[in-house]
Structure 1
């Protein structure tokens, strides 16, 4: 049930359900950030893995999105989301606890790192989709940008603290031991979710609904309109190029520049600090300049930030990288908030899991592909040349956003459908402005997809 109070109170204070999701998400990101720093350091320093393995390892947590994102989205839509979150958190605690235990026993291996990263990533697929589907039920539609901004901003703050803490812990107590932070953070997330009291109606009977058909409905809806297609293409391009860069940062800092894990953690924390400021300021910027403008142009400074990594040298020469990663985090968090809020605005509740899974299968699946590509680039043309390649690919994203079909859209919210009882509402056949493909016959759509098609077709094409 959506609960609202007078807008003078902060959303975290006035909405207990949002507060529970906010605490759970923030704690999860804090622990995950420590792990994101620790895992490649374990591979590079404690296990002496190859350049390819170090770069490819960061993609294992995202590979489940590419392989299982669609079916998991269907499963999430068929079940109440709160139990899904709890089960996924418990699974993550058990999986990650095996790594420090194996280290203490002297049997930790690179293969185990890859397996645990993959399975923990699969648990994260369930958690992320269920959490995203609950946010629109916890807040009103006009609170989505505020809520997502707070989630992104506080998440980025936790990310900054986690990465800085992770960098210090890898040096102080060892990279494997630092994974215990995520174990504790996941337990705290569980405690917060247990306080969640969102009303979730029992899903409709699935006896006559086939998982392959529902997977197809989510993918078709994700590609059904120009705004959704363009947002997906832009995200995929950015994640492919950007994560090539991110996957090579560990090798650049630890092996090319010869710096410790502490420097790596601080560099990654700079991104999160920028993300905090971006998440907290995006609502003001979107109101002043338009969410469409923020979405289009935020990625140009983000690419410049990545390019600053190439200017780094040992010691104080690391400063250009810190400034660059801060700028990247600032800009990208704004882009994420406005694009996520648009998808949540137009998508029916019963379709949220499938939309999220189909979107992330492509966009987050690119993160896994990027890590594998980064490993190949590092082994063939070198770390710096690989970073340049990633930047060139990433720049294609803002180019498509700025010169593509949405180039003239000032507010993304203007592309959302009008209520059916609004006398100004027109169907695509009446207005000639529909941007999706020809609608399937009604018998080919389930109820959620039919409503989604109505939402998706009522958009503008520039």
Structure 2
């Protein structure tokens, strides 16, 4: 990747640690809702609340965390976030084993887990560009995404097997272990990347700088609704699908995990092919093509038949196609965002971006649960799938579809309050 020796060593540590953590953090995606469904007998509405609370911190805390990311060293924030998430999951395991876990307690702990996820996600997105530099960014993101999705390939099936053999709460203990391994690898690194400078700016001024960047840059402004729309209805579908698969398709936890593993198989392939696809077809054409794929495949989920030999294979292929598109489009979008954003504003830009794009996830989880409880699981799932296809409209509006390569991007200049300009490193 053209990195000096110390940076290369640190990137390898980051790569390994996040690969293991990615495998572990696939378990809560299945184990947390199945804990509510199988152990606490939660309704569709209750599962919707659970999924919403896990993502709610992105809506209510992203701006504050983003400002903190731009004012502090980012690697220590990553360490604290993963350590905190491991502690929360350990608490869920202890309460479940002792028989003291209830839905309100699980909701509260899931919210705290989401707080740790916000801190980690925003700090990580801001840390990587400072670690590898602009020249290595596309390849670094491709490698990280490929490793993450490779670990995720076995994650859902592993989670399903663990839930069925050792119960969902106990399976969460393995996630805590993987997060602690991440803490160790992050602690062993030495490269800090971006070094924050002292600032006397008020928080509101800092927020306005990030918001100004997103609004004035046409690429950032147009990518926000693409992510927000897809995340809204994808989470709607996922929330309903977990209940639908257990109660209507009568899938065991292992088979449920297998269907979701099909998605990560597609994601792994998408990550591996991202760099080649962009060079072969162009950045914009690749982005639009995979957004169309991930959106048009969604209605096949509620159309899957129940109790036939084709049920699981069809779901595996459908989730595979959707996640292939999501992963490849994410590699493009993340690289575009990191390229056009000055390093001192990466935290605030990512915070504002994620507040909107991830802020729709709790809305989708809650809405999907409530609509399905009122109209039935199949109808709720179908509505979410059809609505997800509107993501294509937002993608067509984005100037990203006209880009040939990342080199076509024009760096953004943002005025500081003292009149100086901030330029990308």
Q: TM-score, normalised by structure 1?
A: 0.86
Alignment check: 8 A CA contact 1:60 1:114 kept:
yes
After superposition, what is the alpha-carbon deviation per residue over 1:51-77, rounded to whole angstroms, capped at 9, x for unaligned?
Answer: 111133222221101000011000011
Of 263, 269, 278, the match for 2:270: 278
The 1:24/1:256 distance shift into structure 2, 3 A limit, reads same
Distance across 2 between alignment mates of 1:445 and 1:413: 30
Corresponding residue number in structure 2 for 1:35: 28
Corresponding residue number in structure 2 for 1:399: 393
Corresponding residue number in structure 1 for 2:225: 233
Corresponding residue number in structure 2 for 1:4: 3
Of 336, 344, 351, the match for 1:342: 336
Cα offset, 1:188, TM superposition:
0.7
Alignment check: 8 A CA contact 1:401 1:407 kept:
yes
After superposition, what is the alpha-carbon deviation per residue over 1:241-276, rounded to whole angstroms, capped at 9, x for unaligned?
Answer: 222111211011011212211111111111111111
Corresponding residue number in structure 1 for 2:152: 159
Corresponding residue number in structure 2 for 1:209: 201
Aligned residue pairs total 422
Cα offset, 1:14, TM superposition:
8.5
* Structure 1 residues 55-94: aligned runs within 5 Å: 55-94=48-87
Alignment check: 8 A CA contact 2:287 2:401 kept:
no
Q: Does residue 414 of structure 1 match 2:408?
A: yes
Corresponding residue number in structure 1 for 2:9: 16
Cα RMSD after superposing both structures:
2.2
* Worse-matched range after superposition: 376-385 or 333-342: 376-385
Corresponding residue number in structure 2 for 1:434: none
Q: Which consecutive unaligned segments of at least 5 residues does structure 1 have?
A: 7-12, 419-426, 428-438, 456-462
Alignment check: 8 A CA contact 2:222 2:397 kept:
no
Q: Does residue 259 of structure 1 match 2:251?
A: yes
- Give 1 or 2 for the bigger CA radius of gyration: 1
Distance across 1 between alignment mates of 2:316 and 2:356: 29
Cα offset, 1:149, TM superposition:
1.2
Distance across 2 between alignment mates of 1:5 and 1:273: 33
After superposition, what is the alpha-carbon deviation per residue over 1:397-431, rounded to whole angstroms, capped at 9, x for unaligned?
Answer: 1222125555533335413339xxxxxxxx9xxxx
Corresponding residue number in structure 1 for 2:372: 378
Distance across 1 between alignment mates of 2:125 and 2:417: 27
Distance across 2 between alignment mates of 1:379 and 1:388: 13
Of 318, 325, 348, the match for 1:324: 318
Alignment check: 8 A CA contact 2:2 2:136 kept:
no
After superposition, what is the alpha-carbon deviation per residue over 1:79-122, rounded to whole angstroms, capped at 9, x for unaligned?
Answer: 01111111111111111101111111111111122111111111
Corresponding residue number in structure 1 for 2:187: 194
Cα offset, 1:445, TM superposition:
6.5
The 1:41/1:315 distance shift into structure 2, 3 A limit, reads farther
Alignment check: 8 A CA contact 2:7 2:131 kept:
no
SS at 2:315 equivalent: helix
Of 166, 174, 181, the match for 1:173: 166
Distance across 1 between alignment mates of 2:161 and 2:237: 22
Cα offset, 1:444, TM superposition:
4.0
The 1:413/1:339 distance shift into structure 2, 3 A limit, reads farther
Of 125, 140, 144, the match for 1:147: 140
Q: TM-score, normalised by structure 2?
A: 0.94
Alignment check: 8 A CA contact 1:311 1:320 kept:
no
